[in-house]
Structure 1
Amino acid sequence: MKDQIFEAIENQNLLEFNYEGYSRTVEPHCYGLTTKGNEAIRAYQVDGYSSSGKMGWKLYDLSKADNLEILDDIFETRDDYKRGDKGMSKIFIEI
């Protein structure tokens, strides 16, 4: 999963995965360790299930994700993305 996330961020490909049993499609912008020490991605959700019913910026704990797939679709960096994500204690890669 780690290699796929690196590739998706480097090439700005959409990712699709199941999260807590539901499909999500996201634009991954940052991958690292959260302040609680969990591997996670900061991504903008563009499709799929959302418990809040809203799309937008979310932090995904990767221990709750599976069936990750890189899509052919490309995305542009979001203007409101802020590098140096404060929700991460260590960043492995970011846009």
Structure 2
Amino acid sequence: MHRDKAVGIGLLVVGIVGILLYGWLVFFSPWSAFVIQLTAFVAVAAVLGILAWVGYALATTPPPKPIEEIEKEIEEELKKLEQEAKSGQSTS
């Protein structure tokens, strides 16, 4: 059996067991209210954590150069290449 297939079967089993365990915890256990509260907290914390991460990334990433500045740099490089090509032709 390939390793990928074994990992896939393992994930399938873990997923099904997790669903059954979670269903029992929510509907039949004495801790059902706590499990629901914990689930809601983890879900909200995950969403807000991702939101905070995106905000941090936006706040700390430098803005990109304006297109005009990039165009000027490209034009300067093209002029340099043209001058090198002309000087290379004149020495031949």
- Whether TM-score is above 0.5 comes out as no
The structure with the greater share of residues assigned to strand is: 1
Task: Provide the TM-score with structure 2 as the length reference.
Answer: 0.18
Higher Rg? 2
Q: Which has the higher helix share?
A: 2
When normalised by structure 1's length, the TM-score is 0.18
